[in-house]
Structure 1
């Protein structure tokens, strides 16, 4: 029975989480170093599994953005191992104490950071998530259940085996980092009902996957539906800087969620800036979807209606709109943004502060590329996901977001009257 299989997976992970909870920071870091070493040693096996899956995905018409996320190289495997070593270097959040106050009756109140318990990761063709999520959850004192999509299951199993080997070397159960070997959707649905054992679900993938998980889960879900990131070029912007931010945000790696999907240009600089944009985007073969006021600056732009913005292209495509001022830019973002990452390029500090304060987004950038909206780039170590739902976590999620706090009250026999 599928429901029984899901219950067994979840129950074993719950028992394994108790083993992790008893480890010291030093012990966890020692195991993590073994994981990094084993991933490097297993590089050939991981690449072989990945080569077959990439070829199969390409033959099945998988999009370029998905293929990019699926594909591993020796450099990307080294990055996975290095990311684990970066996690080792991060402070352990578990056990951190935050003093609140001592009450008039003498009781002392503090909050102590603890692991969440069991986390279920559900992701598509992103085999690197296997290493990142496994290491982050482990360092934060949790067990993790990894449910990878069909396209990357063999690659993910190879990565997980290297990490489980490290667990066995240190007398820890494999189920500390367990991977669901069957990507069948019915099994995923059954896992989403295991609220007795699983404490949090984190889906990573397309909007359809995240909405499906959210609608069917009995367990709290971290949500991030899509990344529609904007760059607003203000009237006082350094245009050379703005062009650099645009190109880095759009063409460096267009298939990721922190890539730019829309450019908003203040009307007072449009005549100077948009010819530079047109030439640069043409050189990089970027398809432009331009509003009626900006389309004349481009040779082969496609017209876009005022209500058709908000698309997540995940490709060499971008929407362009001329706006009156910073208020119009913020109104556009409020209507079409996804609360992921928004960028303003300006030398006007007052406008920058208004943008930072008023734009409803998990990450706001001032004169910096949207591509920095990433756990590693923001100093969190490897990132387990991005939350745009505000409860529990907001923005890129690192170690601390995989823990919670409990109250600890210490007295000397006080009773309540």
Structure 2
């Protein structure tokens, strides 16, 4: 059997060749191939669901958490959503070739910045088999080749989805090696990808904190990632009570295992109805870990400790704190947040604008649930992940985030004196 380092080298060389071929593929061809892939996903539903059933059975035997099981599970509605997301990407405008800006120099040279693909992308992810389809669709649509390495817990599901996607490419005559899946569960393959400088142009991890930290610590190629999703919702003193309850409950309880779920609730001490807000969360099945002022409002709350303000629970648990004002809320977010998604609920537009200016997060929201932190909800189609870094791309990373640019200079014979 090929050792992991040689496997990744071979896959990288194939991906590089496929990437060069994609540069000659038209926008219409890429779009048609993805529509074909979505058709194969639907046609292969029985095979994909059966494969996912095997993964789910194995995951239960391994006592994976409820949050992990939820991320892993595919049913008919989720599979339809996966196929629809691929179709949505097919319908998006192609970013490749777009002119970002253009200027003319005094000597008549025309300077253009033009969008181009990143190249070969390595994506390392856990649990969510939908990433196999989302990542394949986004990378292909943006002219990139991709090497996918999913978690061992989803190996059967990933293989079945991968086979459907590549069948769509083959049907339309596109290079199948534009999408490759690492078939081994040997963790050494991850290490080989992280060291594949010259073959892989960028690594995108999607998964738990330990995976992302390993990637960031060991990678010898650029990384686009977020480590934690410690998302805050600040209820301002002028918040509408009904909005505050609806937003807070949705932000925490709609899906507790997603990175956009609220993990900390900050309530202005002058907000007039904190009790009903806490009751609504607790009645919805959420454990509230609060400071002293929060605990006085409902006997069902439990005390928070110092670690709670820095914890991404991915579970029906929220840390809750009373703050003096927006200043303290912003300071708390700056100290304990992860620059992912932070929300203010208020009817005071001036306070909302100040919060938006000062919250140093990839996504800042006003009067909306943090669960909207998703590329599809942003109108970007499927997303490759959320980036909380400051370079290249920030927030939901979709087609545009998978491109860079090159300078194109057009002259009429100019020479430099």
Q: TM-score, normalised by structure 2?
A: 0.98
> In the alignment, which residue of structure 2 is the partner of 1:79?
81
Q: Find the partner of 1:32 among 31, 34, 38.
A: 34
More displaced, 354-363 or 83-92? 83-92
Aligned residue in 2 for 1:365? 365
Deviation at 1:144, TM superposition (A): 0.6
**1:217 is the counterpart of 2:219:** yes
- Report the CA distance between 1:326 and its aligned residue: 0.3
Paired with 1:175 and 1:183, the residues of 2 have a C-alpha distance of 20
Are 2:352 and 1:352 equivalent residues in the alignment?
Answer: yes
Counterpart of 2:319 in structure 1 is: 319
**In the TM superposition, what whole-angstrom CA distance separates every residue of 1:101-141 from its partner, at most 9, and x where no partner exists?**
11111111001111111101100111000000000000000
Does structure 2 retain, via aligned residues, the 8 Å contact 1:232–1:343? Answer: yes
User: CA–CA distance in 1 between the matches of 2:405 and 2:10?
Assistant: 28
| 1:291–1:306 contact (8 Å) kept in structure 2 | no
Runs of at least 5 residues in structure 2 that lack an aligned partner in the other structure: none
Instruction: Give deviations 1:308-351, integer Å, cap 9, x for gaps.
Output: 41211101100110000000000000011110000000111111
Partner of 2:13: 11
For the 8 Å contact 2:119–2:144, the answer to whether it is kept is yes
Superposed displacement of residue 171, structure 1: 2.4
CA–CA distance in structure 1, aligned partners of residues 303 and 4 of structure 2: 49
Deviation at 1:370, TM superposition (A): 0.5
Structure 1 residue 282: Cα displacement: 2.4
1:247 maps onto 2:249 in alignment = yes
C-alpha distance in 1 between matches for 2:91 and 2:176:
24
The correspondence for 1:52, drawn from 49, 54, 76, is 54
Q: Distance in 2 between matches of 1:147 and 1:311?
A: 27
Aligned counterpart, 2:393: 393
Q: CA deviation at 1:359?
A: 0.5
Alignment partner, residue 276 of structure 1: 276
Quick one: distance in 2 between partners of 1:37 and 1:19?
24
Are positions 1:331 and 2:331 aligned together? yes
- The answer to whether the aligner puts 1:300 opposite 2:317 as a matched pair is no
Distance 2:354 2:47 in 1: 51
Map 1:142-221 → 2, pairs under 5 A: 142-221=144-223
Aligned residue number for residue 42 of structure 1 = 44
Decide which moves more: 169-178 or 55-64.
Answer: 169-178
Contact kept in structure 1, 2:33 and 2:174, CA below 8 Å: no
Question: 1:230 aligned to 232, 257, 261, which one?
Answer: 232
Contact 2:261 2:371 in 1 (8 A): yes
Structure 1's 12 and 337: CA in aligned 2 closer, same or farther, altered over 3 A? same
Q: Distance in 2 between matches of 1:98 and 1:252?
A: 38
TM-score, length basis structure 1: 0.98
Distance 1:66 1:10 in 2: 30
Asked whether the equivalents of residues 4 and 186 of structure 2 are also in contact (C-alpha less than 8 Å), the reply is no
Native 8 Å contact 1:386 1:394 kept in 2? yes
DSSP 3-state at the match of 1:297: coil
- For 1:240 and 1:306, locate their aligned partners in 2 and report how far apart those are by CA, in whole Å: 30
2: CA distance, partners of 1:339 / 1:99: 29
How far does residue 307 in structure 1 lie from its aligned partner after superposition? 6.0
| Paired position in structure 2 for 1:102 | 104
Compare 155-164 and 281-290 and name the one that shifted more: 281-290
User: 1 CA distance for matches of 2:348 and 2:310?
Assistant: 27
Judge conservation of contact 1:342–1:365 (CA < 8 Å) in 2: yes
How many residue pairs end up in the alignment?
A: 415
Q: Distance in 1 between matches of 2:6 and 2:413?
A: 47
Question: Any unmatched runs of 5+ in structure 1?
Answer: none
What secondary structure is seen at the aligned counterpart in 1 of 2:273? helix
Do the aligned partners of 2:244 and 2:277 also contact (CA within 8 Å) in 1? Answer: no
Quote the Cα distance in structure 1 between the aligned partners of 2:296 and 2:381.
44
Deviation at 1:214, TM superposition (A): 1.2
